[in-house]
Amino acid sequence: MIRLLRELVQKGLAKQVPATGLGVFRILVGLVILQEVFYLLYFRHLIFDRIPFVDQASPVVDLFLSLWAIVATCIVLGFYYRLAAVANYLLWLVFVGFTPMWLDFDGGFDQMLTGISFFLMFLPAERGLSLDNLRYKLKYSFLTKHYQPNTSVSVLCYLLPVAVVMGFLYLDAGIHKLSAEFWRNGMGSWLPPTHPYYMSPLNMRWLMENQWLERVIGYSLICFQFLFLPLMWFRWARVPLLLIGVSFHVGIILSLNIYQFGFGMLAPYALLVPFSWWKVLRLKMATLTVYYDGLCPLCNRTVIILSHFDLLGAISFKDLQTYAKYCRALDAVPPAELLTDLYAVDMQGNLFSGVDTYTRILSAMVYPAPVAWFIRLPGIYQIAKATYRRIADNRTRLVCDVSCAAPPQSPEDDCWAKLYIHYSGSQRRQATRIAKLLVLIILLQLNSTLQFGVFFRLNKGHARTELGQVLEGASNSILFLSHTFLGITPHALYMHDHFVGYNHLLAIAYRDKDGQEHFLPFVNEEGRIVAPNWGRVQCWWANIAVTPHIKRQRLNKALMQVTAFWGNKVGLDVGNTVFLLKMKEVRVPMDWEPNLRDYNIRQAWRNIGTVKWDDVGHVVVETPGINLEAL
């Protein structure tokens, strides 16, 4: 098996493709991580404090979250990318493994992002759309000899992350879905949005009331998850897989309140976009030609920076020493002034210089056009013009010293490059290492899928023999390691064993000074969990605190956390407020029913108890006459 994989991997290593899609993938993953860090910062007292705002977590948590935000920003920008990728992976391990994010506040996609973060450490994603490329250009360029870093990667950089992160995940989830009754009935995409704790604020009634369309979507989703891994290796199948997969995950974003999961699953689809699609974004012909002094180091650096951010290829940069004689528009400029400014000529032959050249460049690039509009504002334009003139007229003082005229060090002479070449070995050796790693990942995934997707389901969750119990223990130990370090985990999300019997909702309200009753901004009058509690907090409340089989200890702790956090947020004196615990009943059938979403929303609440804080800072939950654990 390793020999076959090595041959396939070696062919993949030999095939080089543009790195643009890999750069887009890096940016999307970085943005998903960045928004999740901001989410954790907002809810840090709810998630990390033992008692929100009372018994607070260590300030180191805030420090590490701030560091994580910087790391995620570096990943988005591709700035010192390798260092940022390693730091990001370690931060995922620390926060997911050693904080309440491990169990209580699992976002549903932490393991997937752990797996992606593992791959990011080894993927050369800085070769596309990154500031690292700009650093290399500035470091190794010499006057008119502009260095061009490598912008191509092995095709395996696209295929392997998709296969391991997405393909294995889909296959595992599909196997689990076969044991779920409502998924077998084709109602897998219909049932969760009818449950108020999971539905989004968008009313998708037009879709949910179409029984046959819902069945088509439900069965199509299962088929898609089984077919994704075997079909993704064929070029003709990638665009259909891309369009179908993106449609499914956009549907998750719109219909459920776990948008972070939806966006996290969308990011890897950038790797399935055909390479030709990225080329379409570049213009066939430059719309602006810019002339500069090719012997001026400052001018060369300016051109390198501007050309790096010209993603559409809208600017053609030419040095005056070579190309001035071919441009008639420059004939009107006195020779003594030619080398004192940047000149630009548009497609109509209009000539621009100085600050006007920069505004035209920014407008031609399209996406930074608002900056050009800002520079043209009265007052701003005059300041920009004076600043430009001062720099341009004194640029000889900014040339630095004679060392700038010497050719820079070759990239191959860099110590890190030498170490990589030394230890990476030949292409065949690299292929062998990758093949062995793939075999290990396949075995770890099989352990997870077979143990929990097949045997666990067949045996109703328990090993029946002594040998089976020993094997189950060994399997669990292996799964713990793969779950922690590679994100390989059972993907039994939104299954029947979670929804069966989930026909009660809890909410928390309070009375103001005038006796008016208000719901905390957590679960509203409809029973929906409201923004910004979507995602990780929603998963905690709907999957851990309130479930078909409530555990009183967990519920009491959750009520303490919610009242302390949101009570402080809305300005209540939490210690002297009596919170009302409300409950309403909903229906969770395993097959289609008309108007179920509206029915569940319309059900009335009833007060079943109170939540209050005693003098020593403990929460007291009283539900007279109701045993919540027996619901």
Q: Can you spell out the DSSP letters for 153-192?
A: EETHHHHHHIIIIIIHHHHHHHHHHTT-HHHHTT-TTTHH
Residue 491 has pLDDT above 90, yes or no: no
Residue 591 in contact with residue 185, Cβ under 8 Å?
Answer: yes
**Residue 421, amino acid:** I
- pTM, to two decimals: 0.91
Q: What is the mean pLDDT of the chain?
A: 86
CA–CA gap between residue 553 and residue 547 (Å, rounded): 13
Find, among 474, 500, 621, 618, the residue nearest to 51 by Cα.
Answer: 618
Between β-strands 351-353 and 606-613, what pairing exists: parallel, antiparallel or unpaired? unpaired
Residue 99 DSSP label? S
pLDDT of residue 398: 46
More confident residue, 46 or 515: 46
Instruction: Mention every residue, 6+ apart, whose C-beta is less than 8 A from residue 176.
Output: 452, 453, 457, 490, 491, 492, 495
Residue 546 DSSP label? S
CA–CA gap between residue 463 and residue 454 (Å, rounded): 12
Per the rule left: phi > 0, alpha: psi between -120 and 50, beta: everything else, 366 is: left
Between β-strands 288-292 and 315-319, what pairing exists: parallel, antiparallel or unpaired? parallel
Summarize pLDDT for 144-178 with one digit per residue, the tens. Answer: 678 888 889 999 999 999 999 999 999 998 998 88
Winning range, highest mean pLDDT, from 68-82, 201-215, 533-547: 68-82
Residue 600 in contact with residue 194, Cβ under 8 Å?
Answer: yes
Compute how many other C-beta atoms are within 10 angstroms of the C-beta atom of residue 200.
18
Q: Tell me the percentage of the chain whose pLDDT exceeds 90.
A: 46
Residue 565 has pLDDT above 60, yes or no: yes
Residue 584 in contact with residue 605, Cβ under 8 Å?
Answer: yes
Retrieve residue 555's tokens.
């519920």
Instruction: Mention every residue, 6+ apart, whose C-beta is less than 8 A from residue 180.
Output: 188, 495, 496, 497
Residue 288 DSSP label? E
More confident residue, 399 or 564: 564
Find, among 609, 576, 588, 539, the residue nearest to 107 by Cα.
Answer: 539
pLDDT of residue 407: 56
Compute how many other C-beta atoms are within 10 angstroms of the C-beta atom of residue 76.
22
| Residue 352 β-bridge partners | 344
Retrieve residue 294's tokens.
């090719």
More confident residue, 429 or 69: 69
Compute how many other C-beta atoms are within 10 angstroms of the C-beta atom of residue 107.
23
Compute how many other C-beta atoms are within 10 angstroms of the C-beta atom of residue 396.
8
Winning range, highest mean pLDDT, from 383-387, 444-448, 469-473, 582-586: 582-586
Q: Tell me the percentage of the chain whose pLDDT exceeds 70.
A: 91
Sign of the torsion formed by the C-alpha atoms of 593, 597, 603 and 605: positive
Least confident range from 197-201, 407-411, 485-489: namely: 407-411
pLDDT of residue 397: 43
- Buried b or exposed e, range 4-23, using 16+ CB within 10 angstroms: ebbebbbebbeeeebbbbbb
Residue 224 in contact with residue 232, Cβ under 8 Å?
Answer: no
pLDDT of residue 300: 84
| Residue 203 backbone phi and psi in degrees, to 5 | -85, 105
Q: Can you spell out the DSSP letters for 294-343?
A: TT-HHHHHHHHHHHHH-TT--EEEEEHHHHGGG-GGGGGS-HHHHTTS-E
Between β-strands 504-511 and 351-353, what pairing exists: parallel, antiparallel or unpaired? unpaired
Find, among 503, 504, 540, the residue nearest to 522 by Cα.
Answer: 540
Burial of 422 (0-12, 13-18, 19+ CB in 10 A): exposed
More confident residue, 561 or 1: 561
pLDDT of residue 92: 94
Cis-peptide into 532, omega within 30 deg: yes
Alpha helices per DSSP H over 166-296? 168-177, 181-184, 191-194, 205-208, 211-231, 235-255, 259-266, 275-280
pLDDT of residue 268: 95
Alpha helices per DSSP H over 339-426? 355-365, 369-375, 380-393, 415-424
The three-state secondary structure class of 269 is helix
CA–CA gap between residue 265 and residue 271 (Å, rounded): 12
CA–CA gap between residue 115 and residue 247 (Å, rounded): 23
pLDDT of residue 331: 74
Summarize pLDDT for 269-298 with one digit per residue, the tens. Answer: 999 999 989 888 777 788 899 888 888 888
Winning range, highest mean pLDDT, from 38-52, 312-326, 425-439: 38-52
Summarize pLDDT for 364-388 with one digit per residue, the tens. Answer: 999 999 999 999 999 899 999 888 8
CA–CA gap between residue 24 and residue 268 (Å, rounded): 9
Retrieve residue 441's tokens.
């990942």
Summarize pLDDT for 374-426 with one digit per residue, the tens. Answer: 999 998 999 998 888 888 777 654 444 444 455 566 665 555 555 666 566 67
Instruction: Mention every residue, 6+ apart, whose C-beta is less than 8 A from residue 25.
Output: 125, 161, 267, 268, 270, 271
CA–CA gap between residue 75 and residue 69 (Å, rounded): 10
Burial of 192 (0-12, 13-18, 19+ CB in 10 A): buried
Least confident range from 364-368, 509-513, 611-615: namely: 611-615
Compute how many other C-beta atoms are within 10 angstroms of the C-beta atom of residue 328.
10
Residue 545 in contact with residue 555, Cβ under 8 Å?
Answer: yes
Find, among 600, 456, 460, 591, the residue nearest to 183 by Cα.
Answer: 591
pLDDT of residue 419: 63
Least confident range from 99-113, 412-426, 501-515: namely: 412-426
What length is written for the chain?
A: 631
Retrieve residue 474's tokens.
């060994």
Place of tokens 């008692």: 51
pLDDT of residue 461: 58
CA–CA gap between residue 325 and residue 63 (Å, rounded): 58
